[in-house]
Amino acid sequence: MSAKVMNSAPRIVVGVDGSPSSRAALRWAVRHAAVTGGTVDAVIAWQLPMLLESYSWAPMGAEEAVDFEAEAKQTIEAVIGEEEEPADQHLITRHVVNGHPAQVLLDAVSRADLLIVGSRGHGAFAEALLGSVGQYCVHHAHCPVLIIRGEAAQAAA
């Protein structure tokens, strides 16, 4: 593992999906970047539903009915527009990426100093059944990961 150059500005990656906890994660990331002189890469992932991705057929017009990439762009623009302060506009770079959210975030943190994600707080039973993007990132990211829990999201609002 190579040592990071300590004199560069910290690069913070934050997952954004429009949920209250991801909004709190974005606010935390921007505040941290402002204090440390860092930058924020706000990342939203989108992907076609499994039906459209795994089969060679789909209902007629299904792909045209919903433009998933456009929806993701609209979501990230709306969230950042509502959550950022005018003085912090220069800190945030937007990234809209096709892929599974956990893998997209892991790819984004290849040269990052910190990953911040919100937790939807489904609880241990649901996480065991469904998996968790945050839990996956904690185990596989090559940088520190900060999870903003649901309670923290409400307190930060």
Q: What tens digit of pLDDT does each residue of 37-73 get?
A: 999 999 999 998 765 555 555 555 555 567 999 999 9
Position 25 scores a pLDDT of: 95
Global confidence as pTM: 0.79
- Per the document, the length of the chain is 157
126 contacts: CB under 8 Å, gap ≥ 6: none
Burial state string for 118-144 with b = 16 or more CB within 10 A and e = fewer than 16:
bbbeeeeeeeeeeebbbbbbeeebebe
Angle between helices 133-140 and 101-108 (to 10 degrees): 40
In angstroms, the CA 86 to CA 66 distance is 32
Question: What confidence category does residue 8 fall into, taking pLDDT thresholds of 50, 70 and 90?
Answer: confident
In angstroms, the CA 97 to CA 69 distance is 8
Domains and CATH numbers, the chain: 11-49+65-156 (3.40.50.620)
**Residue 153 confidence (pLDDT) above 90:** no
Q: Residue ranges of the alpha helices (H) in the chain?
A: 20-36, 50-54, 62-65, 68-83, 101-108, 124-130, 133-140, 150-156
Q: What rounded mean pLDDT belongs to the chain? A: 82
Angle between helices 20-36 and 68-83 (to 10 degrees): 60
